[in-house]
């Protein structure tokens, strides 16, 4: 994986994988590779520096008010807020990358209508990162799955809003995978308002699987027959 010579990195990765394996009961088949975090062009900030700069917590109130993130965080999704905090923890040092990020921010600032349009759609999305983590660990519920499908359904709308109004920011969309097939699969399989758990079933759409529909009908008929008795 390109990390063989870094024994400390390999040891750390091994400890992390052991912890994950113990806590997720062996459900780590999706982890198939390792990669080193690239620190080039990024400033490393230790906990002491982060605290004194009051990036995330005020020294006086111990809250978020008056901190840098409290001042500039206008994100509308949990994933967006986490990304912003990661950027603040690891500020860029490469002038080219800094200017590229600033140019993109400027484009958003210049088009308030586009920002409001995008935010309106993003507000309706669930925390996709957290849902994917629960899926990977085998802890996802039917509601997680349908929320994922409904959130992915909004991605093409957001992409279209950006593509129509700003060619520069459109470059960011090249990183987005095509999710149409998985979105359609989820929405055609899981009920819009499923139960919170899989224990009692009832979360698969009628018409998705004829055999299941038949079993449901038999169960309903049997229940009705018992009631009539």
Q: Residue 56 in contact with residue 67, Cβ under 8 Å?
A: yes
The CATH label, of 3.40.50.300, 3.40.50.720, 1.10.1420.10, 1.10.1740.10, for the domain at 39-93 is 1.10.1420.10
Question: What is the pLDDT at residue 225?
Answer: 60
DSSP string of 157-200, one letter each residue: HHHHHHHHH-HHHHGGGGGS---HHHHHHHHHHB-SS--SSSTT
How far is 8 from 15, CA to CA, in rounded Å? Answer: 11
Average predicted confidence (pLDDT) for the chain: 87
pLDDT band at 54 (very low <50, low <70, confident <90, very high): very high
Instruction: List phi, psi (to 5°) of 26.
Output: 80, 5
pLDDT category, 32, cuts 50, 70, 90?
Answer: confident
Model confidence at 192, in pLDDT bands (50, 70, 90)? very high
* Predicted TM-score of the model (pTM): 0.80
Mean pLDDT lowest among 53-57, 191-195, 206-210: 206-210
Longest dimension (CA), the chain: 80
Here the tokens at position 155 are 């991605």
Span 131-153, mean pLDDT?
92
Separation between Cα atoms, residue 3 and residue 9, nearest integer Å:
7
| Model confidence pLDDT, tens digit, residues 89-130 | 999 999 999 998 998 888 888 888 889 999 999 999 999 999
CATH number for 95-204 (one of 3.90.950.10, 3.40.50.300, 1.20.59.10, 1.10.1420.10): it is 1.10.1420.10
- Integer angstrom CA distances of residue 124 from 45, 140, 161, 201, 221: 34, 19, 15, 26, 39
């Amino acid at each position: 994986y390109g990390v063989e010579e870094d024994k400390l990195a390999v040891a750390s990765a091994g400890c992390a994988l052991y912890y994950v394996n113990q806590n997720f009961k062996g459900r780590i088949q999706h982890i198939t590779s390792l990669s080193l975090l690239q620190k080039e062009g990024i400033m490393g900030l230790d906990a002491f520096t982060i605290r004194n700069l009051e990036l995330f917590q005020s020294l006086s109130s111990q809250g978020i008010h008056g901190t840098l993130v409290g001042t500039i965080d206008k994100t509308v999704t949990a994933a967006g807020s986490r990304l912003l905090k990661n950027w603040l923890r690891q500020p860029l040092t490469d002038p080219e990358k800094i200017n590229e990020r600033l140019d993109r921010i400027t484009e958003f600032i210049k088009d308030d209508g586009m920002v409001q349009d995008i935010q309106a759609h993003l507000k309706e999305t669930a925390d996709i990162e957290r849902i994917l983590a629960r899926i990977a660990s085998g802890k996802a519920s039917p509601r997680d799955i349908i929320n994922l499908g409904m959130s992915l359904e909004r991605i093409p709308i957001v992409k279209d809003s950006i593509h129509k109004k700003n060619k520069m920011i459109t470059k960011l969309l090249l990183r987005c995978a095509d999710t149409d097939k998985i979105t359609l699969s989820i929405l055609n399989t899981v009920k819009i308002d499923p139960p919170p758990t899989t224990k009692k079933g009832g979360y698969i759409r009628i018409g998705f699987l004829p055999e299941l529909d038949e079993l449901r009908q038999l169960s309903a008929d049997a229940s009705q027959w018992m009631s009539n008795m």
